Amino acid sequence: MPHLLAAPEWLTRIADLLGTEAPRLIQYALRVLAIWLFAWAVLQVVALIAARVAKAVDDKNDLITTSKEKRGRTISQLIRGVGRVIVIAGAILLSVDVFMDIGPILGGAAILGLAVSFGAQSLVKDVITGFFMLIEDQFAVGDVIQVAGLGGVVEEISLRVVKLRDLDGNLHIIPNGEIKAVTNSTRGWSRAVVDIAVAYDSDIDRVLEVVADETRRFADEDRWASLLDGPPEVTGVESLAENKVVVRALLRTSPGQHWAVAREFRRRIKIRLDAEGIEIPLPRRIVQVHGEDEGNAAAAAGAAG
């Protein structure tokens, strides 16, 4: 009966091993704990540095995001991402080194990494392209760009991918190696191009006066003047289309503000043209009927109308 209550042999051996190795295991556990506590502290410092970088370029103006602010946000994101990878990878290696010598492992990993790099050329290409994009400051977080046939607001930039959010809310993740050409709509300054169509029987000189006057009024308002980068310009008659005369106005704006400026100016010019009695043309069609008497011709014209 006593032998039935005795512990299994393998369990006894484990208990003896833990009893003899307990002090060493405690030391290992304390070292690993110290390593990860230090890693956590370093991550907090990295996050603090990233936040300081973003705060240093913030001009407290939420209406306009300057290129300096965008650049600061991009660098802040990069510090967080790269810092997190380096710190966690270092903590893992140091934790393994507590239990075994990682020198041979690192040597083998270097050889393995060299072999993998030949099979992961696209990844290497992404990283190198991302590095040069950041160095050359081609675009930054918050810019509106078009790359690889896609367009949207840059939400995140890393050494491997760029994340774009389009107008429909879709998030596009584009590897840096696929970016051949970049169209940046919010760098330096932008321009709102507004075409105003009027009927052919309108007094074109009067139309030009009205449009020029409305652009001056628009530029004199403090709310919109702060978004403009210079006085608006009315270039004159842009084209003579099939059933309309097109007058063009150009409004140079701060980066990324041309969409809002163009929408507001179109609204105002519509109201102004209505008040001035200037007609905005509708499509017209003239039908000529040959070989019919006047009654039939009139009926055909009425049906066409």
Q: Where do the domains of the chain lie?
A: 2-119, 136-184, 190-276
Lowest mean pLDDT among 89-93, 213-217, 257-261: 89-93
Distance CA 15, CA 173 (A): 53
Q: What is the SS3 assignment for 239?
A: strand
User: If residue 162 lies in a helix (H) or strand (E), which one and from where to where?
Assistant: strand 161-165
Mean pLDDT of the chain: 81
Banded pLDDT at 235 (limits 50, 70, 90)? very high
CATH number of 136-184: 2.30.30.60
Could you read off the pLDDT of 121-138 as tens digits, one per residue? 777 788 888 888 888 888
200 or 76, which is more confident? 200
Q: Please tell me the predicted confidence (pLDDT) of residue 249.
A: 96
Q: Please tell me the predicted confidence (pLDDT) of residue 107.
A: 62
Distance CA 85, CA 36 (A): 14
Specify the CATH class of 190-276 in words: alpha beta
Reading phi first (left if > 0) and then psi (alpha if -120 to 50, else beta), residue 25 is in alpha
HSE-up of 29 (CA within 13 Å, CB side)? 6
Work out the average pLDDT over 95-119: 64
Tell whether the model's pLDDT for residue 2 goes beyond 50.
no
- Residues 125, 59 contacting (CB under 8 angstroms): no
Q: What is the SS3 assignment for 89?
A: helix
* CB neighbours of residue 285 within 10 Å: 7
Q: Which two tokens stand for residue 198?
A: 């009027």
Burial-class residue 58 by CB neighbours within 10 Å (0-12, 13-18, 19+): middle
Could you read off the pLDDT of 30-86 as tens digits, one per residue? 888 888 999 999 999 988 988 888 787 776 766 666 667 777 777 887 788 788 888
Q: Please tell me the predicted confidence (pLDDT) of residue 26.
A: 75
Work out the average pLDDT over 223-227: 90
On the question of a common fold for 2-119 and 136-184, the answer reads no
Burial-class residue 190 by CB neighbours within 10 Å (0-12, 13-18, 19+): buried
Q: Which CATH number fits domain 2-119: 1.10.287, 3.30.70, 1.10.10, 1.20.120?
A: 1.10.287
Q: Please tell me the predicted confidence (pLDDT) of residue 3.
A: 46
Q: Which two tokens stand for residue 8?
A: 């299994």
Banded pLDDT at 282 (limits 50, 70, 90)? confident
Q: How far is CA 9 from CA 5, 262, 275, in A?
A: 12, 84, 101
Q: What is the SS3 assignment for 186?
A: coil
Q: Please tell me the predicted confidence (pLDDT) of residue 296.
A: 54
pTM over 0.75: no
Q: CA gyration radius for the chain?
A: 35
The pLDDT > 90 percentage for the chain reads 35
The secondary structure of residue 137, as a DSSP letter, is T
Q: Please tell me the predicted confidence (pLDDT) of residue 4.
A: 44
* CB neighbours of residue 106 within 10 Å: 12
User: Could you tell me whether strands 245-253 and 161-165 are parallel, antiparallel, or unpaired per DSSP bridges?
Assistant: unpaired
Q: Please tell me the predicted confidence (pLDDT) of residue 5.
A: 46
> Is the four-CA dihedral 233, 236, 242, 244 of positive or negative sign?
positive
